[in-house]
Amino acid sequence: MILLDTHTFVWWVSDRRQLSKAARAALEDETSQLHISVVSAWEIALLQKKNRLRLPVPVPDFMQRGLARHGIHELPLLRRTVLTAVNLPDIHNDPFDRILVAEAIQGRLTIVTKDSVIPEYPDAITIW
């Protein structure tokens, strides 16, 4: 089972050339069940609001189309996930990434990410 980092989702939906060969292979594998955290929608919306991300359609449409087109399951933000994220080692300061790591650990998901810090978490499994 796969958890897409926010940038991975954006690139998977809009520009697959940005993905590594290993990332593309993992996402294209028909046996892979793809997941995304609900916090990725929040991060995408913030990036667009700050003009750090340009999308062809409004964020709600971008998210809905991407999820539906690729059969991606959205993970809700749970209290246990937030508490796990807070108790992770202080490796990453980005709260979005800490939540992704917590979700991946709890769900035994492999994170597809270009982020070089996430693999430093002892229980995080990543692909790039």
Q: Residue 64 is encoded by which pair of tokens?
A: 């809905």
Phi/psi for 3 (5° steps) reads -115, 120
Phi/psi for 127 (5° steps) reads -130, 135
Instruction: Tell me the mean pLDDT in the region 97-105.
Output: 97
Whether residue 11 has pLDDT greater than 90: yes
The DSSP call for residue 17 is: G
Instruction: Tell me the mean pLDDT in the region 19-41.
Output: 97
Whether residue 93 has pLDDT greater than 90: no
**So what's the pLDDT on residue 127?**
98
Whether residue 92 has pLDDT greater than 90: no
pTM of this structure: 0.94
Q: Where are the domains of the chain?
A: 2-127
Instruction: Fold for 2-127, please state it.
Output: Rossmann fold (3.40.50)
Q: Which residues of 106-128 are buried (b: 16+ CB within 10 A; e: fewer)?
A: eeebbbbbebeebbebeebebbb
Q: Is residue 2 very low, low, confident or very high in pLDDT (cuts 50, 70, 90)?
A: very high
- Over the stretch 37-81, which tens digit does the pLDDT of each residue have? 999 999 999 999 999 999 999 999 999 999 999 999 999 999 999
